[in-house]
Structure 1
Amino acid sequence: MDLKNKTILITGGTSGIGLEAAKQFLALGNKVIITGRNLLKLEEVKKAYPELTIIQSDAANPQDAIALFEKVEHIGGIDILYNNAGVGAAPLNLGISSDKHLQGAIYEMEVNYFGVIRLNNLFMDMLKSRNEAAIINTTSILSIVPSVLEATYSATKAALSFYTKSLRSHLEFINSPVKVFELLPPLVDTDMVAERKDKKMSSSLFVKELIKGLEKDTLTIRVGDSKSLFFLNRIAPDKAYQLVNKKEHYQSIQ
């Protein structure tokens, strides 16, 4: 895929992977639009990178999604929709009765799964009208093997992975020009996992790998540990599960 002179919309672009992707896409000569819930953060990013277009939008809010589409349509549309926004609830002890389990699960599913489908539906006809277009859905290493500390997060990403494969097949069947990429990050060094002591990949290196995959039309882009865990899970699923869910993980929820 040619990654020059494209207009790219990145959800959740005020920090971490989203912001790094915005910077690297800009450097390649693209126009980049980022979204975020926090207007102050968006404005701070805009000051640092004036070339960016910012739009306040909450991935969990259906009305925000419609407003986002209308604003993007007004400024000329997009070629690439990068569904980067995602949330993970704090680790919860599922063995103790609590309404917070359900509340957190509903919110994670709303952002990580339903929010992606909602935007894809809104932007699909626009993307189909382009000569070369793409959707990038961000799943996770935990869509391969679930984490006991992030049960619903893992489930949302597994659901998104199945949806992404199905969407790709449907679009290929109707000869659509829209390419559908699945991006499987390992543990990336962002604010979301700042307290984790596990090995992390830098967001800069991660985005470079993303761009390589897009340019090569690698529709399933596994990066770093996601690649090795995928193969380990195929030949030794028990070992893969133990690797993701170490004993100390269980101890932390007792």
Structure 2
Amino acid sequence: MNLKGKIVLITGGASGIGLEATKQFLEIGARVIITGRNQDKLDAVKQTMPSVTVIKSDVEKEEDAYALFTQVTALGGIDILYHNAGVGSPALNLGITNDQILENAVYEMKVNYFGVIRLNNLFMDMLKSRNQAAIIITTSILSLVPALEEPTYSASKVALSFYTKLLRKNLEILGSGLKVFELLPPLVATEMTAKRNDKKITTHDLVKALLSGIKNDQLTIRVGDTKIIYVLSRLFPGLAFNLVNPKKIYAQLR
């Protein structure tokens, strides 16, 4: 898929993976629209990258989704919808109450799962009408093997992964040329993971792999350790689980 000249909408584009994606899409000649909840961060991106269109929008909120669709339509539409925004919470850590576990799980599903479906439904006809259009959905290594520390986050990514695969198949059955890419990152070095000492991939390397996969029409893009975990989860699921959940985690949960 040729990305030069494409108009890309990136949710959560003002920091972390989304910000790096914004930079690399611009470098290859794409036009970029980003969303985020923090106006200050959006303004900072606009200051350093004036060609980027910034729109304050919260993936969780239905009214924001409709407003976003209206604004993007007025701008002429998009060719690629990149679902980058996501939230996670360590639901089983000590000190987290049962009520908080449920509250966190609901929030994760609203953002990580329902937010994706809502935007897809709004932009679907627009994307299907475009030549060489695509949807990019970010799932996770944890959609293959769950993490003890992040059970509800893992579950939200499993749901999203299944939805992604079936959306792709449904479009194929309908004869649509709209491509659906699934990005499965390992642990990535961002603000959200700053306190973790585990092995991490840089945002630069992750986005570089994403763009390479899109250019080569690789619909499922597994990056870094996700490739290994994918194979092990099919052949040796117990080993894969232990690699994702080392023994030191057990002590933290007791």
Q: CA deviation at 1:249?
A: 1.1
Distance 1:110 1:96 in 2: 20
Q: Name the residue aligned to 1:222.
A: 222
Q: Name the residue aligned to 2:151.
A: 151
Q: CA deviation at 1:208?
A: 0.6
Contact 2:91 2:101 in 1 (8 A): no
CA RMSD of superposed structures (Å): 1.2
TM-score by length of 2: 0.98
**For 1:43-192, what aligned pairs fall within 5 Å after superposition?**
43-93=43-93, 97-192=97-192
Query: What SS is found at the alignment partner of 2:123?
Result: helix
Distance 2:97 2:183 in 1: 34
Give the AA of the match of 2:78.
I
- Show structure 1 runs of 4+ deviating over 2 A: 90-98
Deviations 1:50-77 (A, max 9, x none): 1110000001000000000000000000
Q: Name the residue aligned to 1:10.
A: 10
Q: Name the residue aligned to 2:239.
A: 239
Distance 1:228 1:97 in 2: 34
Distance 1:236 1:95 in 2: 33
Contact 2:138 2:183 in 1 (8 A): yes
Q: Unpaired runs of 5+ in structure 2?
A: none
Give the AA of the match of 1:15.
S
Contact 1:143 1:154 in 2 (8 A): yes
Distance 1:96 1:195 in 2: 18
Distance 1:96 1:216 in 2: 44
Query: What SS is found at the alignment partner of 1:252?
Result: helix
Distance 1:44 1:214 in 2: 28
Q: Name the residue aligned to 1:37.
A: 37
Give the AA of the match of 1:83.
H
Query: What SS is found at the alignment partner of 2:206?
Result: helix
The number of residues matched between the two structures is 254
TM-score by length of 1: 0.98
Deviations 1:228-253 (A, max 9, x none): 10001111000000111111112112
Distance 1:249 1:133 in 2: 42
Q: CA deviation at 1:96?
A: 7.2
